[in-house]
Amino acid sequence: MANPPSMQLLETLAARLGPKGFTRDERDLTPWLEDWRGRYRGAAAAMLSPSTTAEVAEIVRLCAAERVPLVPQGGNTSMVGGATPPAQGGALLLSLRRMTAIRSLSDVSNSAVCEAGVILSRLHEAAAEVGRRFPLTLGARGSATIGGLVSTNAGGTQVLRFGTMRSLVQGIEAVLADGSVFDGLTPLKKDNRGYDLRQLLIGAEGTLGIVTAANLKLVPAIGSRSVAWIGLSSAEAALRLLRELEVSLGDAVESFELVPETALDLVLAHVVGTRAPLGGRHRWHVLAEATAPAGAPSPEAELGKALGEALERGLIEDAVIASSEAQAEAFWRIRDSISEAERKDGPAAKHDISVDVAAMPDFMTGAAAAVEARFPGTRVIAFGHLGDGNVHFNVRAPEGAGPEWLEEAAPEVTRFVHDLVTEAGGSISAEHGIGQMRLSELARLADPARLGAMRAIKQALDPHGIMNPGKLVPLFDLAQGSLAE
């Protein structure tokens, strides 16, 4: 059983970490106790901000001895309340934001060893300086950290070509729940020494250990890119277009993001300085990006030809290719601002779902109609990574509903959506993780084999339950007959 920290432990931690690494000041803590969407608010006796792996190991050893829970936190951009401590207090917040060293970055090994607190956009810049890039990006790149991205197995808008974090992490250094340091940073292509701890820690949401550094794969920098904004009448047409672009452009197609008219309208209404890329109105839009390496011809001609043919055949309704980097960035800004616009607009029940890619267009259409019929006044806004079979199937509250809608009505909406996803053989968490938001739904819907194995792994590697309790692993509390926090 986990315990709250004693005064003696807090004094020891304060002395070891110094004023930069330890605070109990409410003004320092408050911004980090609420999640990005403002859905969860937690409490913590202190925030610990170590600057080295040795300090993290010492913190974990001290806390393990007293069974005090730790909640690791990077940029706090979790979409599932994963980095928010439990509301009843008792846990310590462990911020990795001071561990910001890029220990090495090489265009020979095509890799970067980053500490957990390195912000994604900083890695992008550092890689660009040596003619390389880290091919994973997302709207929160200005705040999300390497530790958080690893721990959520983040996806984003380039998964189509380069995969999720799982395929980009070549090595990991982590502090395990007893304070021991797992040094798996060397990027071995072949290593059969048993269970793959690196893959186990990726996507573990801090429930098995604290990621202190990662060895990340880099790829050659882009020579040129071509970014198109396309109007279509259906998601099915969008998927057919993707398959056609793959035939004409091969794996030059890096991003293929679906944006419904409703999402575009929200962005235009709430995000200053945005404007619609096309003149007319279209039920659906796609933002597609194709790239070419340095020295190779720009993909623009091939993309333009493919889109021209699709237009002639009536597969798409309209399209524009960005004529400058500034215009390309403006298109991306619209896509990346959907979450922010939706947040400003009001409450929404958020779902991060995946089904078989080929089944997604029909699934989206059918599920949206079913939800809106079953819960009158709600409005579905499904957008995102169509090429990965992953959309954010968010259900906006009826006009005028207040935040209480999230507690009172949204859970039933969520169960309805997740039942449909489960019937379709899909996943209720494609890229954001489980955190605290999806815990009860995972417990309700995951098959017993998966749940049993997850619980056994958690129990074996974190026997005292001090690593981010109440997240990811639904532990059944037999005494209370409910999910243990």
Binding site for ligand 2HG (CB under 6 A): 79, 139, 338-339, 350, 384, 392, 394
Q: Which residues of 279-308 are buried (b: 16+ CB within 10 A; e: fewer)?
A: eeebebbbbbbbbbeeeeeebbebbeebbe
Angle between helices 325-336 and 338-345 (to 10 degrees): 40
- The binder of 334, among Zn ion, ligand 2HG, ligand FAD, none, by C-beta within 5 to 8 A per type, is none
Segment interacting with ligand FAD, rule: CB under 6 A, options 70-78, 290-298, 401-409, 448-456 = 70-78
Footprint (CB under 6 A) of ligand FAD, residues 405-444: 431-432, 435
DSSP code of residue 367: H
Sole binder of ligand FAD in the list 138, 177, 241, 397 (CB under 6 A): 138
Beta bridge partners of 391: 353, 384
Nearer to ligand 2HG, 154 or 174 (CB): 154
In 10 A of CB 140, how many CB atoms? 24
Residues lying near Zn ion in the complex (CB under 5 A) are found at: 384
Confirm or reject binding of residue 258 to ligand FAD (CB under 6 A).
no
Structure tokens at 288: 């597609």
Binding span for ligand FAD by CB under 6 A among 148-156, 216-224, 297-305, 440-448: 148-156
Shortest CB 433 distance to ligand 2HG, Å: 11
Q: How many residues bind ligand FAD (CB under 6 A)?
A: 38
What Å distances lie between residue 74 and 78, 83, 95, 144, 351, CA to CA?
Answer: 9, 8, 6, 7, 22
Triad 86, 90, 95: Cα angle to 5° = 70
Q: Please report whether residue 206 would count as binding ligand FAD according to CB under 6 A.
A: yes
Position 210 contacts ligand FAD (CB under 6 A): yes
Asked if residue 471 binds ligand FAD (CB under 6 A), the reply is: yes
Give, as ranges, the residues between 220 and 249 that touch ligand FAD (CB under 6 A). none
For 39-50, b where at least 16 C-beta lie within 10 A, e where not — what string?
bbebebbbbbbb
72 binds, among ligand FAD, ligand 2HG, Zn ion, none (CB under 5 to 8 A by kind): ligand FAD
Tokens standing for residue 115? 């500490």
Q: Is 116 in the site for ligand FAD (CB under 6 A)?
A: yes
Task: Point out which span in 103-111, 135-143, 247-255, 260-268 binds ligand FAD (CB under 6 A).
Answer: 135-143
In the complex with ligand FAD, which residue's Cβ is closer, 292 or 428?
428
Give the distance from CA 43 to its chain's centroid. 23
Helix orientation angle between 360-374 and 410-423, rounded to the nearest 10 degrees: 150
Element at 443 (helix H, strand E): helix 439-445
Q: Does the protein bind ligand FAD through residue 147 (CB under 6 A)? A: yes
Residue 152 contacts ligand FAD per CB under 6 A = yes
Residue pair 114/123 in contact (Cβ under 8 Å)? The answer is yes
**Footprint on this chain of ligand FAD (rule: CB under 6 A):** 36, 71-79, 82-83, 96, 116, 138-140, 143-145, 147-149, 151-152, 154-156, 205-206, 210-211, 339, 431-432, 435, 468, 471
